[in-house]
Amino acid sequence: MGERIFIFDTTLRDGEQSPGASMRKEEKLRVAKQLVKLGVDILEAGFPMSSDGEFEAVKLIAQEVKGPIICALARANEEDIDRAWEALKYAERPRIHTFIATSDIHLKYKLRMSREEVLDRIEKAVSYAKKYTDDVEFSPEDATRTDLDFLCKAIEIAIKAGATTVNIPDTVGYSIPEEFGNIIRTIKERVPNIDKAIISVHCHNDLGLAVANSIAAIKNGARQVECTVNGIGERAGNAALEEIVMIIKVRKDLFPFYTCINTQEIYPTSRLVSAITGLPVQPNKAIVGANAFAHESGIHQDGVLKEKLTYEIMTPESVGIPTSHIVLGKHSGRHALRERLKALGYELTPKELDAVFQKFKKIADQKKVVYDEDLIALVEEEIFRVSDKYKLLNLSVHSGTVSIPTATVQMEIDGKIIMEAGFGIGPVDAVYKTITKITGFKGNLLDYTVASITGGTDAQGEVRVRIEENGLTAIGQGADMDILVASAKAFVNALNKLEYLKKRKFQGV
């Protein structure tokens, strides 16, 4: 079986730093509980010092999530470390993750500190964190652009001060596999006390090499990998958890390692993160993309029908992708619906199931078949939808080849019901202008995309929008068999998320 590779999931911290992907504490808890099912070893819940909301989210996860190590990020100062511990102290297995930049670029332009001052800060921060917990991780930010001798010295001091994990971040995605592997190998050879800590890596994807760099690091001695579901994260994202795990699993001939990830939970986790963040998974995304196990070429289809191994190096079932796409219809009952939803990763209460079942029946009466994708959209819309300040009550749209598109919208805002009408160039434009009039939104609509959740003219439509106001960006999504209703839901969803971001900014993110 070989050596174990520890999976450090930072979806809730670094992944959440994707523009517009901020999560509420309840949403973070949902993802955290699914990550437990997935089997991650370390769960980085957030950066408590960044805001009161972030602190409360980390605290909630520390209180309610059992199993994995719960980790919180802190800069290398006492205030951050104190705040991190206040949130983490409820966890059964807490870890403080402290960091400071070590590259000359960061020292000169950001920190304005000397190398000696940084080394002193490292020693003090790790020692201080050690007073709270024995499990302390240290990261030299921008490690791949740091002088290698100085990097080794910084790591040595961190371990001497009590760090049990040292993480080597490729903060700006600058390195290439051969180079990154050499950095890890050099650390193992030159740091005299490296045997007292686990080497971790945290790779960004700016050059599309995050996974390749992580794998190179494993080959050269790293035994913890920091990654995110779907590879989300700031800028071009992070190393994708699902890709690293499946590389290790599929290519055992080259990698004598193993992880404790339950790979059958990969797809449900991917869908949940996509639904909550509003960040779609590209169809050709490895492992979890819609086309990952699709075969259109006649030669490929012939080969797969004769023997799947001809064109499939892993099975859809191995990563939790349902093999049956047409599963339910209008004659299906609650039991069949409950079991299908369970297979998709949703365990609903009887009350929640009743609500979904009623909506399911309405869709099933209008469609010949109900697909898994329909069910996922239905559950996210009916049970888990973000709806705080703004709530869409009713929508009526009039449009045609000779008439002016007109929308009448009724909304509830902080308990007050408001109705307005407006005109537009097209029906969607009319809907959005009317909602803008009601809510007083003063920003811009940056993106508007429409996709069919399943095939056929009776398919549910899914709309995703990205809006911006005063430098804050939010992503919203909505699904409905009426594409105009889906468009309105997506816009309202984005507006609610924008309100959440405004509160976080006010709290001092």
How far apart, in whole angstroms, are the C-alpha atoms of residue 214 and residue 170? 10
pLDDT at 387 over 80: no
User: Looking at residue 335, what is its pLDDT?
Assistant: 84
Selecting from 3.40.190.10, 3.40.50.1820, 3.40.50.720, 3.30.160.270, what CATH number does the domain 390-507 have?
3.30.160.270
User: Nearest CA to 423 among 437, 439, 410, 411?
Assistant: 437
- Domain spans of the chain, in order of start: 3-277, 293-320, 322-382, 390-507
Do the domains spanning 3-277 and 390-507 agree at the CATH topology level? no
Both structure tokens of 155: 């790591």
User: Nearest CA to 488 among 395, 413, 418?
Assistant: 395
pLDDT at 508 over 50: no
Angle between helices 177-190 and 210-219 (to 10 degrees): 30
The residue type at 260: C
For the entire predicted model, the pTM comes to 0.84
The residue type at 113: M
User: Looking at residue 60, what is its pLDDT?
Assistant: 98
- Each residue's pLDDT tens digit, 197-224: 999 999 999 999 999 999 999 999 999 9
pLDDT band at 326, cuts 50/70/90?
very low
- Each residue's pLDDT tens digit, 434-447: 999 999 999 999 99
455 contact partners, CB below 8 Å, separation of at least 6: none
Return the top range by mean pLDDT from 90-94, 312-316, 328-332: 90-94
Burial class (CB in 10 A: 0-12, 13-18, 19+), 430: buried
How do strand 370-371 and strand 326-328 relate by DSSP bridges? Answer: antiparallel
Share of the chain above pLDDT 90, in %: 68
- Each residue's pLDDT tens digit, 42-54: 999 999 999 998 9
Residue 453, helix vs strand vs coil: coil
- Each residue's pLDDT tens digit, 13-43: 999 888 778 888 999 999 999 999 999 999 9
Please compute the mean of the pLDDT values over residues 431-436 and round it to a whole number.
97
How far apart, in whole angstroms, are the C-alpha atoms of residue 41 and residue 95? 12
195 contact partners, CB below 8 Å, separation of at least 6: none
Q: What's the CATH architecture for 3-277?
A: Alpha-Beta Barrel (3.20)
Yes or no: say if 370 and 363 are a contact pair by the CB < 8 Å rule.
yes
Please compute the mean of the pLDDT values over residues 330-344 and round it to a whole number.
82
Residue 88, helix vs strand vs coil: helix
Residue with structure tokens 């050499």? 182
User: Looking at residue 297, what is its pLDDT?
Assistant: 52
State how far the alpha carbon of 347 is from the alpha carbons of 8, 242, 350, 352, 386, in Å.
25, 23, 10, 9, 19
User: Looking at residue 47, what is its pLDDT?
Assistant: 97
Averaged pLDDT score across all residues of the chain: 91
